[in-house]
Amino acid sequence: MTAKVCAYCKEEVRLTREHIWPNGFLKRGDFDLKFSERAGKTFRADLVIADVCEPCNNGVLSNLDDHACQLYDRRFSKYVEPLASVKFSYDYSKFCRWLLKVSFNSARSVERDLEVFERHISYILDGVRPRAFAVSTYSIAPSSFKRQPDGVIEKLYPQMARCGPVIPVSVNPRKFYQSYVTRIIQINSFAFILCLPRHSETSVRQCQNALRAFPGQLLHPSGEMRIGPPAMATLEAADGIDNWPEPRG
C-alpha cells in the first residue's frame, strides 16, 4: 500500500486494491471471455487498480457492487433467447453509478478520458446527478449452429463480462468521439452503453440522441422496463470486440 491520492474522494490516505469488476460478481459467472481495454488485449477480468482508499472501497463502492451482484443473481445470470423480451427491475441511480464506476475504473487502467469521468465522481460517491448523461441497453441472444457431423443444433451463449470504449460505425467516428465518451458494459446477455458528454453545454437530450446510433433502448429512470427482443446474437456481439474502431481524438 502506498500513500497517494484516492481516485474517488481525493483524500491522501493509504490506498487499497479495487477490482475493476466486483469480486463477488466474478465469483458468480464462469466467464469465457474476459476483456479489458488495456492494450486492446483480452485479459482476465479480475484486474485490480490500486488507487482507491479503504473507506471508498469498502463503503459506497462496495454498496454499488452489492446492488450489481443482486442484479446478477436476479437477471444477468439468465440468458435471453431469440425473440424473447425480459423484465428488468433495478435501482436506477445505483445501477447507473455502478456502470460509471466500472467504466471509470477501466478508463483509469489505460488513463483514457479521465477528465470526463472526473466530472462524474460526485454522482458515483454521493448520487449528485450530473447535468447530462444517458444509458441505453440491448440484449444478446445465443448463436445457433449445426454440430458436425450429426447436424444437432447447438447454442453458443454470450457468456462474457467486458467493459470498453465503443464508437458507432453508422456515424462519423471522429466527430462522435470529439463530442461523447461512449462505453459498453456487457454482462452475459445484457449490454449497457453509457454516454457522457465531453462538453459541459451538451444536454441530456443530446446524449440520448447520440445513443440512437447504437442498438437498443434508453434505460428507463423508473427502474422498471422490458429489455428485448435481442438486437444481435453471441457471435456478432463477440466479433465486435475486434471490429470496434479505436477512438482517436
Q: Which residues here bind Zn ion, judged by CB under 5 A?
A: 6, 8-9, 53, 56
> Closer CB to Zn ion, residue 9 or residue 218?
9
Distance CA 139, CA 217 (A): 10
Contact in structure between 235 and 243 (CB atoms under 8 Å): no
Residue 55 C-beta: closest distance to Zn ion, Å? 6
Residue 58 C-beta: closest distance to Zn ion, Å? 10
Rounded to 5 degrees, what angle do the CA atoms 40, 45, 187 make? 95
Residue 161 in 3-state DSSP? strand
Residue 60 C-beta: closest distance to Zn ion, Å? 9
Contact in structure between 114 and 108 (CB atoms under 8 Å): yes
Distance CA 62, CA 71 (A): 14
> Closer CB to Zn ion, residue 6 or residue 167?
6
Distance CA 244, CA 120 (A): 25
Distance CA 61, CA 58 (A): 6
Single-letter code of the amino acid located at 133 = F
Residue 17 C-beta: closest distance to Zn ion, Å? 13
> Closer CB to Zn ion, residue 105 or residue 143?
105
Helix (H), strand (E) at residue 197 = strand 190-197
| Residue 184 burial (CB count, 10 A) | 23
Paired strand residues for 191:
138, 186
> Closer CB to Zn ion, residue 4 or residue 44?
4
| Residue 95 burial (CB count, 10 A) | 19
> Closer CB to Zn ion, residue 14 or residue 27?
14
Residue 23 C-beta: closest distance to Zn ion, Å? 18
> Closer CB to Zn ion, residue 59 or residue 82?
59
> Closer CB to Zn ion, residue 51 or residue 236?
51
Contact in structure between 138 and 229 (CB atoms under 8 Å): no
